[in-house]
Every structure is written in structure tokens, then in C-alpha cells.
Amino acid sequence: MKPKLRIFDDLENISKHAANIFSKQAARSIVERGQFLVALNGGGTPTRLFQLLAADFHDKVEWAKVHVFWGDERCVPPDDSGSSYGQARELLLSHVSVPESNIHRIKGELPPVEAAKEYALLLKEFASPPPDWLRFDLIYLGMGEDGHTASLFPGSPVHVMEAVLPVTAHYQDRPANRVTLTQLVFNSAHMVIFMAAGEKKASTLAEVLSDRYNPELYPAQRIDPKDGDLIWLVDKDAAGKLPKKITRKYCEG
Ligand code: 6PG
């Protein structure tokens, strides 16, 4: 599926757009399927999105029908500052009326292998097989400066059979043990939104969106929903090294 690229002035505008997509996609999914299955990401990029959803959309989304999951998690307890679940709870989930039973976190306090197994079982509960995992209505992803996404890091296997994997990866000062969904799950989603901001990501973004396909080195290239939308929301700094032919090819309007 050809990605769509939207370039914004800054992260604030990316986040506003991403929040509007959340609201629209939630409404559509609830009408069509009776619920909205969304996977959140961690890291710095989505924090403003979470705040905006809490402030401006707490009464505009049918939160009782929203089920929240994560694309990956760091293996730390939920109240640790490194926990992606903890971050989303603080900034978003504690401010909206999503039922506690609809919050499906990855148990970061467990050893990674165990946490991955439990999460895979949870995904199966929401799946109507085949396949063995649920089809998300919306997934948010970020991209590291090295091209990783979720916890799919450069050099990790490209051909996987599992929906969920335990991972050990050293990236910046973040916890090394993690659990991640794989591209099998990401690529079966109805919609995947990537958000990337800042000039430190510009060279990598230019590689990821180029015609040079190297998914081993740039895991973000593994994301290619078979029957869904793939939308990149980036700021002008992150887009700074994109050749014109790429922006012409992927930018809408
Ligand atoms: C995590 C994410 C990871 C993140 C990227 C970008 O760390 O929890 O799973 O994939 O999205 O590392 O992080 P920033 O948004 O902080 O640049």
C-alpha cells in the first residue's frame, strides 16, 4: 500500500491532526464494528497527542467502546517513568471514561518472554481467526533515529512467525528489555499512523521513504498494511531531507 505523507509546521500540528484521526476512526469503527481497537506507542512524540485527546476529546469519543492496547512496552513496572502504559495512563487514560477492563497493557513487570506470551494470548481473545491476532482499527507508531519502530530494531529478523516477541535492545537511555508486536500484527491493521518530528530523524526518514528497500536496517520499512492505510505525519524538520520526487509521490494535495 502506498503511504500517504502529510507535512506540518511542528509537533503541535502533527498532534492535532493525529487526535482528529483518532476521533474520526473511533466513530467509524464503532459504527461499523461496534468497538474501536487502538494501539498506542511510547516515547516522546505521542505525549502531546495524549494531552490533546484528554483535553479536547474527552467528551467527543465514545470511550466506553474504546479498547486500548500498546504496540510495544518496556519491561519495567507500570508505575516506572519508563513505562509506556504509565505515560499514557497519566496523560490520557486517567482523564477519559475508558473502562478499566478495556485497557489491555503489556505486563512490563514480568520477564519479557512471559509478558510476550501473556500478551499474545490476550490478542487471540480479540481475534476472529484466522489469523491469531486482532485486526486493529488504528495503530500509532513512532520512529527512532536509527529507523526502529515499536521495538523492532535494526538487525532483528525480518521474517517472523510470531505476533508478539520479547526483545533486548539498547537505544538511548531507555530500558533494554521490551516486548513488541511484530509486522504481522501491524500490517493487518485498518490504519497505521507514523508520527516523526525533528531534524535528527530527517536522514532516516529520507531512507525509509526512498525506493531503497532495506527492512533489516530500517525496520520502519517493514510496516506496510496489506489492506489498510499507512499515513506518515511529520514536521518540516523531519521532512527536511526528503527529495522532491518523494514528497511529490506521497504528499496528498
Ligand atoms: C518506545 C517506542 C519507540 C519510539 C521511538 C521514537 O520507545 O516506546 O516504542 O519505538 O516510538 O523510539 O521515540 P521518540 O518519539 O521518543 O522519538
State the pLDDT at residue 128.
Answer: 73
From residue 237, alpha-carbon distances to 5, 7, 39, 200 in Å are 14, 9, 26, 8
State the pLDDT at residue 97.
Answer: 98
Ligand 1 pocket, 112 CB below 6 A?
Answer: no
State the pLDDT at residue 174.
Answer: 78
Ligand 1 pocket, 108 CB below 6 A?
Answer: no
State the pLDDT at residue 133.
Answer: 81
Residues of the chain with pLDDT under 70: 1, 130, 253
- Which residues fall within 8 angstroms of residue 137, CB to CB, at 6 or more apart? 25, 26, 28, 29, 33, 36, 37, 38, 189, 190, 191
Which atom of ligand 1 is nearest to 142's Cα? Answer: 11
Ligand 1 pocket, 174 CB below 6 A?
Answer: yes
Residue nearest to atom 9 of ligand 1 (CA): 150
Q: What is the pTM of this model?
A: 0.97
Q: How far is the CA of 53 from the centre of ligand 1 (A)?
A: 19
Ligand 1 pocket, 150 CB below 6 A?
Answer: yes
CB 9 within 8 Å of CB 236: yes
Q: How far is the CA of 34 from the centre of ligand 1 (A)?
A: 30
Which atom of ligand 1 is nearest to 148's Cα? Answer: 10
Which atom of ligand 1 is nearest to 149's Cα? Answer: 10
Residue nearest to atom 10 of ligand 1 (CA): 150
Ligand 1 pocket, 235 CB below 6 A?
Answer: no
Give per-residue pLDDT as tens, 153-203. Answer: 999 999 999 999 999 988 877 778 999 999 999 999 999 999 999 999 999
Q: How far is the CA of 30 from the centre of ligand 1 (A)?
A: 28
Ligand 1 pocket, 45 CB below 6 A?
Answer: yes
CB 116 within 8 Å of CB 167: no
SS3 242: coil
